[in-house]
């Protein structure tokens, strides 16, 4: 029968819980939490996953006093849940046990070792950009209208403005989400509206957010093993000396500078798109075939998209997009 934790230990844990909760400045800094331990412990938040794991090692050791002695511990991700959770597992050896055992796997002779485990999850997930993955094109089961997301009421629209000729064409598409604020295209984003945002006051010290063209905001948490996505995916984010590298599950690799600005896109077929900026605004994109698109602005708003190398019989084509305070023309001189 498992022994109860000592009265002194429980008093110390209660005091520690009060101190930790009192010193948290706001939920934005509450990065990790443990679940199904006790009411007091479940309310606690930890700045790093290592802090949470270390706390549980001490907590479980106190619970097991008189029964076992800690001999090993491990922390590993559980991908099947798709929510970024980890398992904190502590291995104990029964008092008086003399059999052989492996502290890493917590296996051994009968009645020699046993383990206690706890789930560790990113804290306050309902207050993070995790939920903004619902922006963009909804699934067919959640879609009405042209289309509107049934769950969120978000109106989404995609407009292909430009596509070059040849293989792997260079494209420019605009995306509208009614739940997004106005940006350089008014209420629209575009194919190259991609960035990495590091904002400790907004998201906490251990989280970065990827802003995507279709409107989604994807969050990654920092752990001892690297940056972990907060949703079930094979996507990977790596911090490099010059910025960030984001690799999608389809093999597309995006490069960002230290400020989080997109600088290049490498496709699986080897084609590379380079982005150039002027005064902080995207001025042109060029792919590996030498194809280029140029962008012009007025008062901080993108007003035209131009292919400077494509000539038509009329010399110029322009299309005015009515009803939106955004891109006013696309030109092929």
Q: What is the mean pLDDT of residues 211-224?
A: 82
Q: Measure Cα distances from 230 to 46, 72, 200, 296 in Å.
A: 17, 28, 17, 36
Least confident of 31-35, 136-140, 260-264: 136-140
Average pLDDT, the chain: 76
Q: pLDDT-derived band of residue 228, with 50, 70 and 90 as boundaries?
A: confident
Q: What is the mean pLDDT of residues 75-104?
A: 90
Predicted pLDDT at 135: 54
What would the pLDDT profile of 265-276 be if each residue is shown by its tens digit? 999 999 999 999
Residue with tokens 């140029």: 294
Question: What pTM was computed for the model?
Answer: 0.57
Least confident of 103-107, 149-153, 292-296, 307-311: 149-153
Which uninterrupted H or E stretch holds 18? Answer: helix 7-23
**107-113 LR contacts (CB < 8 Å, sep 24+):** 113/71
Q: What is the mean pLDDT of residues 179-198?
A: 77
Q: What is the mean pLDDT of residues 146-157?
A: 56
Predicted pLDDT at 107: 95
Least confident of 20-34, 85-99, 149-163: 20-34
Which uninterrupted H or E stretch holds 275? Answer: strand 272-278
Q: Is the pLDDT of residue 303 over 70?
A: yes
Q: Is the pLDDT of residue 219 over 70?
A: yes
Predicted pLDDT at 313: 34
| Percent of the chain surpassing pLDDT 90 | 38
Distance of alpha carbon 45 from alpha carbon 204, whole angstroms: 12
Predicted pLDDT at 266: 98
């Amino acid at each position: 029968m498992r022994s109860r934790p000592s009265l002194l230990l429980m008093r110390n844990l209660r005091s520690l819980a009060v101190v930790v909760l009192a010193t948290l400045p706001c939920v934005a800094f509450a990065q990790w939490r443990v679940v199904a331990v006790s009411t007091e412990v479940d309310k606690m938040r930890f700045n790093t996953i290592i802090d949470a794991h270390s706390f549980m090692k001490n907590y479980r050791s106190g619970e097991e006093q008189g029964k076992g002695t800690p001999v090993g511990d491990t922390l590993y991700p559980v991908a099947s849940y798709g929510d970024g959770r980890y398992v904190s597992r502590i291995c104990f050896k029964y008092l008086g046990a003399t059999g052989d055992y492996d502290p890493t796997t917590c296996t051994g002779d009968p009645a020699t070792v046993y383990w206690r485990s706890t789930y560790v999850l990113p804290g306050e997930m309902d207050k993070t950009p995790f939920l903004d993955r619902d922006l963009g094109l909804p699934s067919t089961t959640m879609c009405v209208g042209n289309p509107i997301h049934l769950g969120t009421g978000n109106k989404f629209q995609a407009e292909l403005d430009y596509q070059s000729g040849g293989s792997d064409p260079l494209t420019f598409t605009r995306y509208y989400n009614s739940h997004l604020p106005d940006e350089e295209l008014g209420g629209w984003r575009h194919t190259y509206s991609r960035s990495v945002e590091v904002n400790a006051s907004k998201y906490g010290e251990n989280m970065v957010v990827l802003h995507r063209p279709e409107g989604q905001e994807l969050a990654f948490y920092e752990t001892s093993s690297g940056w972990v996505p907060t949703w079930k995916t094979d996507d990977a984010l790596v911090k490099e000396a010059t910025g960030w590298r984001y690799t999608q599950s389809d093999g597309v690799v995006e490069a960002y500078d230290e400020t989080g600005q997109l600088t290049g896109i490498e496709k699986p077929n080897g084609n590379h798109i380079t982005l150039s900026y002027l005064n902080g605004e995207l001025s042109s994109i060029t792919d590996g075939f030498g194809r280029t698109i140029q962008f012009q602005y007025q008062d901080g708003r993108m007003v035209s998209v131009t292919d400077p190398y494509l000539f038509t019989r009329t010399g110029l084509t322009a299309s005015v997009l009515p009803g939106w305070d955004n891109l006013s023309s696309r030109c092929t001189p």
